[in-house]
């Protein structure tokens, strides 16, 4: 916990807090810009958790294939679903 250090200065607290949010923002950015996760209205049952798991799987597949242009790649896959099989290396 950040506040458990008795000797932490305000600058140290600031750096820790900024570091935490920079990581969270990097992870969340793709989910929000590509799949507009913050705009979702479905909050019933296991739907949100299952959808998040599928999004994480998709991001993981893109990361394994060293794809950095996530939005463009997802849009291309949306136009031609066979491209997803190429990323999964299904043979």
CA dihedral 80, 71, 25, 86 (to 10 degrees): 40
How far is CA 30 from its chain centroid? 5
**How many whole angstroms separate alpha carbon 56 and alpha carbon 41?**
19
13 vs 81, residue with greater confidence: 81
Nearest partner of 37 among 59, 13, 14, 55, judged by Cα: 55
Q: Residue 4 in 3-state DSSP? A: helix
pLDDT tens digits for range 32-85: 777 777 777 767 788 888 888 888 888 889 888 888 888 899 899 989 988 888
């Amino acid at each position: 916990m950040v506040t458990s250090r008795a000797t932490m200065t305000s600058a140290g607290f600031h750096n820790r807090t900024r570091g935490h949010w920079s990581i969270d923002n990097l992870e969340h950015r793709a989910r929000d810009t590509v799949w507009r996760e913050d705009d979702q209205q479905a909050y019933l049952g296991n739907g949100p958790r299952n959808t998040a798991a599928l999004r994480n799987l998709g991001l993981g597949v893109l990361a394994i294939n060293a794809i950095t242009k996530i939005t463009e790649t997802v849009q291309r896959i949306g136009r031609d679903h066979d491209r997803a099989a190429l990323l999964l290396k299904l043979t």
